[in-house]
Structure 1
């Protein structure tokens, strides 16, 4: 009986990646999950085993529930704007009518992506300023003084103001990804649909949408997981306030670990963020059936 010859070259090529993932992804994940069973602070020399008490704490933590609710809002709005609206925008930019001005518009839409999130937060801090901010000034100018408010200081509008800033920065990247996918669609499909009498809207739903299925899946995955992991925008703009109205799970985790000095519970929150991200990713893979031939 002949033994199969194992090809070592592919394994050697994969080895650095496997080591990198193990060192910086999988080992920290396992360590974090292990830490969620202990009570300890940042500078603790020892850890006290507390079993499932940190996980039980998660179910009675009102801040975590409020943060999860905000993450869900973030995900829903991001999917509507960063995925579906971006697909429509990309389709419009690739239309014959906009062909001459499309390159300039692509640059305009993509510019926010290249700006640092700290700079954008400072910019929107000015936009939302209740005294001299652009939004309130515009509302006063057109006679809608009754609609002016402290956008970041109001518990009702704070989270939506943070989300709006995030959409402004991120939508350009998703649009560009869709543009690349649309450019790969064979022109014959559009010409055949046009000969059959299909209008632009019909061609969009019958040709563009099915042909960019893989790109849509990738953008959905990036958008939803990004919404669960979001930290910079709410932390810089509001620090989760006022109260906990704009708190997200990542901000809550950070504050718990480094301000309340409860690293055990912070590890539990980190595990929750990972599980939510993994679950949503698996659901999207299952629903979209990406990578399978029709």
Structure 2
């Protein structure tokens, strides 16, 4: 009887472990194996070529353009989504804004639940060089010299795409921080007020320190999303003009389904996985998540 009770918890989690092994870890291992082969999606034959796919990848100029764009994605997302989301959450949880916070929470969260296809169509109109709202607004305020084809110029295409992602995702990160802020004991804010702390000091000394764990989670979600992003650049620009807005996700897709270089695409997927793991480990070390103090 004692022996059965000992193994009972493992039996409960066995289905989850089985699903994880079958649908997560097995595909990862298979993808790593495929990256050492040259093969077509339309042929069962595979030719072992060792590290040649990775060597070709690191010689590919498009890979470095895509990597640079993903890094831009990550940096801007941390600043706008995580930092901006924390500031928005703190403002909406302030006693002064509490009466209207529910309305603004809904407004900021609505983009999260909208289909990316609808959002891409919306921003295609916004960025349109002739009838777009953005260029129209610039002309209205006397800054028409800054109007341009935002998605059609290599200097602005990737940043226009990144802006769409920030607009859509900041509401989700904001809600995570709101939940975390609501769990902060009110006594900490009252003690800070008794010490003469103003709103900014309370935000820095109480809110920021108390949401450290959620800051780690939000940063992890944001950075992982930045290195696996695909929908926005593919729908809005297709990686263009030229390769100006190419990211690792679109490079993988084009390699696999347009060039039929399945082994090369597997190598790209492996690099994305390794980069995501590296940044996750760095964050674990920086935030020391789960440790006391």
Q: Give the deviation of 1:6 after TM superposition.
A: 7.0
Whole-angstrom distance in 2 between the partners of 1:293 and 1:127: 47
Whole-angstrom distance in 1 between the partners of 2:275 and 2:11: 33
TM (normalized to structure 1)?
A: 0.98
Residue 95 of structure 1 aligns to a residue whose secondary structure is: coil
Deviations 1:213-243 (A, max 9, x none): 0000000000001000000000000000001
Residue 170 of structure 2 aligns to a residue whose secondary structure is: helix
1:271 paired residue number: 270
Deviations 1:112-161 (A, max 9, x none): 00100110000000000011000011112222221110000000000000
Deviations 1:203-222 (A, max 9, x none): 00110001000000000000
Whole-angstrom distance in 1 between the partners of 2:137 and 2:209: 41
2:196 paired residue number: 197
Q: How does 1:152-171 map to 2 (within 5 A)?
A: 152-171=151-170
Deviations 1:73-123 (A, max 9, x none): 000000001111110110010011101100100000000001001100000
1:37 paired residue number: 36
- Note the aligned Cα RMSD (angstroms): 1.2
Q: How does 1:39-78 map to 2 (within 5 A)?
A: 39-78=38-77
Residue 39 of structure 1 aligns to a residue whose secondary structure is: strand
Whole-angstrom distance in 2 between the partners of 1:142 and 1:174: 32
Whole-angstrom distance in 2 between the partners of 1:116 and 1:60: 36
2:21 paired residue number: 22
Whole-angstrom distance in 1 between the partners of 2:44 and 2:195: 74
Residue 254 of structure 1 aligns to a residue whose secondary structure is: helix
Q: How does 1:71-150 map to 2 (within 5 A)?
A: 71-150=70-149
Residue 154 of structure 1 aligns to a residue whose secondary structure is: coil
Whole-angstrom distance in 1 between the partners of 2:165 and 2:51: 36
Deviations 1:162-189 (A, max 9, x none): 0000000000000011000000000000
Deviations 1:3-43 (A, max 9, x none): 98871111011101111111110000000000011111111
Q: How does 1:114-263 map to 2 (within 5 A)?
A: 114-263=113-262
- Mark the runs of 5 or more structure 2 residues left unpaired by the alignment: none
1:8 paired residue number: 7
Moved more, 148-157 or 37-46: 37-46
Residue 96 of structure 1 aligns to a residue whose secondary structure is: coil
TM (normalized to structure 2)?
A: 0.98
Whole-angstrom distance in 2 between the partners of 1:145 and 1:102: 36
Whole-angstrom distance in 2 between the partners of 1:45 and 1:188: 66
Residue 48 of structure 1 aligns to a residue whose secondary structure is: strand
Whole-angstrom distance in 1 between the partners of 2:78 and 2:44: 44
Residue 291 of structure 1 aligns to a residue whose secondary structure is: coil
Whole-angstrom distance in 2 between the partners of 1:80 and 1:18: 36
